[in-house]
Amino acid sequence: MKDVTIWRKPSEEFNGYLFKAQGAIDDSVNSVIDHIRPGPCRLDWDSLMTSMDILEHFEENCCVIRYTTAGQLWNIISPREFVDFSYTVGYEEGLLSCGLSVDWSEKRPEFIRGYNHPCGWFCVRHKDNPHQSLLTGYIQTDLRGMIPQSAVDTAMASTLVNFYGDLQKALQKA
């Protein structure tokens, strides 16, 4: 996708990859982060996410969420469930929304519980274009289950590119 780049390198956290995604988005920093942080807005546009529940709310911008994802690659990768601690905070001249999976005893049998190692999205005003934001994500997701690593790698790269496209379309509608 134009203006989006995806990189990967072996993760130091688990036997998978740390993905870095970076791209320009035609909107303000606050609007971009408002669309990706936990909440009902995210379900309206994120094509991978099928449900989201805030399980505990600690303070503004700080919560534990449970969300589910759709199957991918013709359901070679079945739907997943994640339970993450999420925190969004202003940082330097932008906003940081970070997360980490946490243990949660309640599991739904129809989903495989995935695990997000430390990850996050950082959004700043684009230095070359004041009407754009630069959104950078660091994602290291262990999908767990019996999946070939090549399928995971293909799914992650295409999912991240689609994420930027879906986000841009949602912001244009807003």
Instruction: For residue 157, give the 3-state DSSP assignment.
Output: helix
Domain ranges of the chain: 13-172
CATH class of 13-172: alpha beta
d(CA 149, CA 26): 34
pLDDT tens for residues 69-118? 988 766 677 889 999 999 999 988 899 999 999 999 888 888 999 999 99
Nearest to 149 by CA among 42, 98, 76, 81: 76
Q: Is the pLDDT of residue 174 over 80?
A: no
Q: 15: which residues sit within 8 A by CB, 6+ positions away?
A: none
Q: Looking at beta carbons, which pairs linking 45-50 to residues 24 or more positions away fall under 8 Å?
A: 45/166, 45/167, 45/169, 45/170, 46/163, 46/166, 46/167, 47/162, 47/166, 48/72, 48/159, 48/162, 48/163, 50/79
Q: What is the model's pTM?
A: 0.90
